[in-house]
Structure formats: structure tokens, C-alpha cells
Structure 1
């Protein structure tokens, strides 16, 4: 059936966004991550139309809710009726730490393994402009820098998010208009989660423009990529091994470059990422020509900055 109106325009925008992310996609094969919610069902429907015969679907059932198995089965039934290959994956390790963080990490790991087994080129997820706005505001509230405020990336490795410019309401409208089966995850209304609490607050702020926020995030992502490129060039030219540590032979760089170069030296040294504001304190000491502590490592300032192991504690 030929789509018309906004649904047809949405399909066309999906194709354009996908091409912008992956280049020539005439032969590319895609896996779509589908939870059973309206957003991911809308993405699967559009992708299957836009790239016929080259789309498979995957659902990760974390087993955290009693309804999750039925939701995965609903997706599987719909896919079977459409002739779309579908797989349901289950975690192979118990929950550890923060449940949401564990579920996210497990989901991406399982999906990437499935992508490789199936010989697929890319994984699509249904993140949209409203998700991006929520992410930006949450990270702004936590004091994130350029990298964090770049929000959800349009591409991360083999994962692409071609709907970041679209509003959730548009995806819901398509799911309703096309009669796509879908469920509403009860965790999306659980106010114990920060994102849900923020989502409720945003509902009372219609002046906030999610599409504009998504464009801002894209601009920040480009700025972040440019900074990362510059830092790589600076590291190649000015960071060198010295004894058991590493030395940065320039201390006259902008602070953000210095911060990232210190982190680069820590990575080279195999040191864990600094916690809290310890990096800021150490950099302030180094900028004053003194010595700052970074866990089991010390940062010594001066005309050059040196990272070296702290003496063993007695």
C-alpha cells in the first residue's frame, strides 16, 4: 500500500537521514532494534518499506517485567506476518549495579553479537528528537561539557539513529494510522526514574522545541569531533613517554585541550578515569607549577606537565 501525506514524507526523510549516515545504502542490510513500543514499531515499519528485503528485527527481553515475554512475542508475530526475520535475545549474565545501565549495556552487546552473526551492516534504533531533548537537559543539569551536551549520537559504531530529527508524536501517529501493534512500557511513567520525571515536566513546557534541540546537539557533536581530532594531533606531536610515566611538553594550550591531553596520558598509562573533581584540582595545581594527585598517579606542572606513578604507600 502506498503511503500518503505525512507518513510518506516520514518514509522519505528516513531514507535521506539513513543515506546521510551510511552513504550509499542501496545494498546495505539493516537490523532494527524493536522493543514493541510505538517508536520502534514505526521505525521497523518504515525501514521495511524503504529497504525491502534488507531488514531484520531484534528484540531483547531482559526479563525484568512479567509482560516482556509477551511483548517480544507480539513483535515476532507481526514480523512473521510481514515476512521480516525476527530474533528475541535474552541476557546471558545476571543484573549487576544500576539496573537501567546494566540493561542498556547488555542490550547493545547482545544486538551487536546478533548483527555480526546475521551479516548485517547496520543497526537502527528509534531514538527521536524528544529523547534528544531529554538527554540534553539531563546532562546540562549534571554539568556536562561539550561531549555530553552533544547528546545521543546519530551514529555510534555500527548503530545509527536516523529518527533523531523526528518528534515522538509523529511516530505515534504513524503507528496508530497504520494499525501497528504496540505497547506502552510502564517504566516510561515510573517517576522514580529521572528521565520520566523530566518528561512529565517537559509536558508542561510546550515552548521547548525538541527539533531545535536536536539540531543543537548535532552541532555540538560536530564540535566535539573537531576537538577530538585536534587533541589527537596535539597528542601525536607533544605527548611522549618519560620513565614510568608520560610528559606533555606544552602547557600553554587552552584548558580544554590540556584536560583532554591529561586524560589521554592517563589512558596511555593504564590509569583509571579520575573521579569527581579530582582532575580539576590536579590541573589547578599543575597550572600553578605544583603537583596534583590523580589516585595512584601524580601530575607535576611547569613549562611541561608530567604524569608519573605516586610513591608506594607505607
Structure 2
């Protein structure tokens, strides 16, 4: 089939045959996108696929959708695993996503998978980019859904081989197979930002989701370049230090563009056991650049200007230390 050959080529671009050390795991919800992924992978990789479906406990229909995926997987001769997750309090969609990927990582490790694939497609990517543009996201966010990465907490590849496909292409694969997919009502629930963006895109025929998705890919390449520069900044301009009383810390010769410095600040905070968002790191950069102390993620940053021996000229030098416990005397 032509679509199978197309899928196999897209898969090989992300997961070359020589790198495959186990079966391909598929995250399948029962909707048309992920069922198409199941059918395409079953044709392209016979006997080398496993499927998992996750019940997030959010809708009464979810159990039946998991059962639908299990039935189709068994009909295809594919090993199937039903997963359930419990969500922590907070942003519902964000918590569901975090729990989903954590469950997929455990499944992949337990079953010896070589990689895990999800069915994110070009329409998803276009929606994501436009939503994040509307929120004023930086380049890290505008890069959208990445075609490849790793599952959280392990080094198992996470790939999205149909990211260049339209939703209609995937729906056609399922329809041709004579399968009726599950219908998740949240996909059209206008209480959710994504559903509103999806409806807006459907009503704007002059917008091309494939080209919008291509722009997200270009932004992803730009983000890779910035991440490379931030890694260089970390190794060249950050020095580990220990105070007279044994407190660990870092000094940072801050002489790079703001967007790079923000990434370096975030890494310093993580190294000192704290956590901060990019928005918080950006505000800290603004204070430090203005010569003011900044506090974030349990870390105190103090700005200064010093002559740096390795450079030979005065530079901004920012020192980072864990914030003293309130009431303690240093």
C-alpha cells in the first residue's frame, strides 16, 4: 500500500533500522489518529509492534475505548497492555499528559521496547503553534511538538512518525479498514483552548496546517541551535565554587544574549537543587542585568562586575548560592 510505504519511510527517518533494539510501542487512544498509527505500524512492522492504551479516569467512556483498542490490537495479532493512571491535583490537561508519558515510560522499560510512537499529526502541530503564539510563548514553546525525543526518566526514544500527515489522511486509513473509531467529546468541547483553536482553524480555509507545522519545525531547529549555544555557555562561562563555610554555588560570566542566559540560569538553579520556570528566569535576568539581586527556586543570585582572567576584561559576574534558611545566621 502506498500509505504503508509512506509511513515506513517517515518511521525510518526518525528511527533507523540499525538503531532498533526492540519492538515499537504505540500509544493508542481509540481515536482515528492513533488507530491509523496502529494499522500503519502493523503493516510496516509485522510482529514488531506492541500497543498500550491508557485510561486517565476522567470519563466513563474511557474503559470502553481502551477495550476497543485491545480488541483491534488482538485482531491484528499485536500484544496489548491496558494502563491506568491517577492524576495529581492541578492543571487537568498538564497532569494527564505528565501521567500518560510516565506510564508509557514504565511500560516501555518493563516490556523491552525499542521506541514508543504517538500519533501527533500536522493539524495537532498547527493548533499547538497558534495556541502558543496567542499566549506569547518563547522559542522553546513555539517549537511545538518535537518529532523525536526521549520518554521521561529513561533513554527510550519517543517518536512521532505521522507528524507530517494531515488528520484527514489518518482518518482515511481507519475508514478504509472499516473500523469505527472512538469519539472523545473533549475534542469538540469549547471549554478547552485546543478545541476552540481547532474550530477556528476549521473555519479558516486560507490557513494551511502543513505550512504552519513546517514553521514549527523550523522553530524547532532554531531552538536546537540555541540549546547548543547554551551548552557552550555553561561549559565556558559557569564556574563551580564553594564558599568559606562550605556552601556550594556557581559564578556565571554573563555576556551572552538574554535568551541564552535564561537557559544557563535555569541550569544553575537545577544544579543547586531548585526549580524555576523560564518566565521566572527571565525576570531574574532583568533584575541581575539592572544590578539588583534576584531570588528564584530557593537560590539567591547576586550581580557584580569583575575582571575575568580568562577573558582579560571586566565582565558581569553573577554569583548563585542556595538561599539561607530564614532565621539562620551565616
Same fold, judged at TM 0.5 (above) = yes
Aligned to 2:213: 214
Distance 2:207 2:231 in 1: 36
Q: Which string of whole-angstrom CA distances, capped at 9 and with x for unpartnered residues, describes residues 100-128 of structure 1?
A: 22222222111221112221101111000
Residue 258 (1) aligns with residue 261 (2):
yes
Q: Deviations over 1:50-109 (max 9, x none)?
A: 111101111112232111111111121222222111111112x35522222222222211
Structure 2 SS opposite 1:304: strand
In the other structure, the counterpart of 2:194 is 195
Q: What is the alpha-carbon distance in structure 2 between the residues aligned to residue 129 and residue 184 of structure 1?
A: 20
Residue from 255, 270, 274 that aligns with 1:271:
274
Match of 1:59 in 2: 53
- Please identify which structure carries the higher strand content: 2
Q: Does 1:30 align with 2:24?
A: yes
Aligned to 2:250: 246
Residues 272, 322 of structure 2: 8 Å contact kept = no
- TM-superposed CA distance for 1:265, in Å, is 1.3
Q: 8 Å contact 2:139–2:219 — kept in the other structure?
A: yes
Q: Which runs of 5+ in 1 are unaligned?
A: none
Paired residues, number: 304
Q: How does 1:1-314 map to 2 (within 5 A)?
A: 3=1, 8=2, 10-24=3-17, 28-91=22-85, 93=86, 95-157=88-150, 158-242=157-241, 243=243, 244=247, 245-249=249-253, 251-274=254-277, 277-294=279-296, 296-301=298-303, 302=305, 303-314=316-327
Shift of the alpha carbon at 1:137? Answer: 1.0
Normalised to the residue count of structure 2, the TM-score between the two structures is: 0.86
Q: TM-score, normalised by structure 1?
A: 0.90
CA distance in 1, matches of 2:91, 2:208: 31
Shift of 1:288: 2.8
CA RMSD of aligned residues (A): 1.9
Answer with 297-306 or 19-28: which moved more. 19-28
User: Which whole-Å CA distance do the structure 2 matches of 1:205 and 1:131 have between them?
Assistant: 15
* 1:202-241 per-position Cα deviation (integer Å, ceiling 9, x unaligned): 1111111111122222222122122112211221121112
The Cα shift of 1:156 comes to: 1.9
Cα displacement string for residues 122-166 of structure 1 (whole angstroms, at most 9, x for unaligned residues): 111100000001111111112111111110011121211011101
Question: Which segment is superposed worse, 171-180 or 49-58?
Answer: 171-180
SS at match of 1:252: coil
Q: 2 CA distance for matches of 1:281 and 1:38? A: 43
